[in-house]
Amino acid sequence: MILDGKKVSESRLAALKEEISAAGLSPGLATVIVGNDPASQLYVRMKHRACEQVNIQSRGIELPGTSTTSDVLKQIQILNRDRSVHGILVQLPLPLHIDTSRIVEAVLPEKDVDGFHPANLGRLFSGNPVYSPCTPKGIMTLLTEYGVEPDGMHAVVLGRSIEVGRPMASLLLNANATVTICHRRTRDLPAISSKADILVAAVGKARFVGPDMVKQGAVVIDVGTNHVDGKLCGDVDFDRVRDIAGAITPVPGGVGPMTIVSLMENTFLAARLQT
Ligand SMILES: NC(=O)c1ccc[n+]([C@@H]2O[C@H](COP(=O)([O-])OP(=O)(O)OC[C@H]3O[C@@H](n4cnc5c(N)ncnc54)[C@H](OP(=O)(O)O)[C@@H]3O)[C@@H](O)[C@H]2O)c1
């Protein structure tokens, strides 16, 4: 079974548009981008396009790559005070000379629709999330839409980043899965991953997960977005794994669109909580 994130995202966005209109709210999202990295610019454009689709007011702040941490902090303070802005998204990664932690922690937790502020990560870790990070949240939505119930399953997450691996593990744990997190120092990774009922690959290495790493019938979620010969390619060797997996996400068209849906849902939630 192909877990079609594109199809699910379209229906979720259509439903969200109706919910927003029924609520009579005008949610506002501000994006902040520093520098002119083409991939970041593309992601931000996609987020603004989704905002238009669901009637979220979006505003894009573009700061030059020469901006200092203090320049970015000033911008965040302005957005924190702006009552028409319910959600603030700082597009990561920021240029290396900028102190990313200080920026992430400067966003008011109630406007942190990316869910990266320690207050929001702490709530997630304690089992009471408000805003969950968008990519793992989107994956949970996709599992729900396809009737995959993690309760009691063994879930293996490859990767332990703040953006994906760690919050993914927390969400799966909150959904009563038994969770194992793997990383570069994990010994005999295939022996662990091949026991997974749900395998989430978020390592950032093209076709890292081969058939030897997957259990027959497993649900395989591919978070990776790698560019190989000008083409987008996941962390899973899709062509060789698809016959072993019971369900699998494609790249593109799997996790990516679900990430954007989560951002829209978090922004609507932010507007509700701040109104
Ligand atoms: N589709 C989407 O919406 C979306 C959203 C976010 C990210 N992504 C993609 O998802 C991928 C992961 O993103 P990220 O931000 O989590 O990346 P990241 O911050 O670079 O983290 C990668 C993780 O993978 C682990 N890893 C790397 N090589 C490994 C190996 N050989 N064996 C075991 N573990 C290994 C690292 O382990 P250590 O901690 O030990 O170094 C690290 O924890 C990237 O391709 C990114 O572009 C997609």
pLDDT in tens, 201-227: 999 999 999 999 999 999 999 999 999
Give, using CA atoms, the residue closest to atom 10 of ligand 1.
224
* Nearest atom within ligand 1 for CA of residue 260: 3
Using a cut of 0.95, tell me whether the model's pTM lies above it: yes
Domains recognised in the chain with CATH numbers:
25-108 (3.40.50.10860), 134-256 (3.40.50.720)
CB-defined site of ligand 1, < 6 Å = 135, 158-161, 163-165, 182-186, 189, 202-205, 223-226, 255-256, 259
Is 231 annotated in the active site? no
CA of 144 to the centre of ligand 1 (A): 24
DSSP 143-209: HHHTT---TT-EEEEE---TTTHHHHHHHHHHTT-EEEEE-TT-SSHHHHHTT-SEEEE-S--TT-B
pLDDT of residue 46: 97
Is 114 annotated in the active site? yes
Identify the band that residue 260 occupies on the pLDDT scale cut at 50, 70 and 90.
Answer: very high
CA of 199 to the centre of ligand 1 (A): 14
Identify the band that residue 265 occupies on the pLDDT scale cut at 50, 70 and 90.
Answer: very high
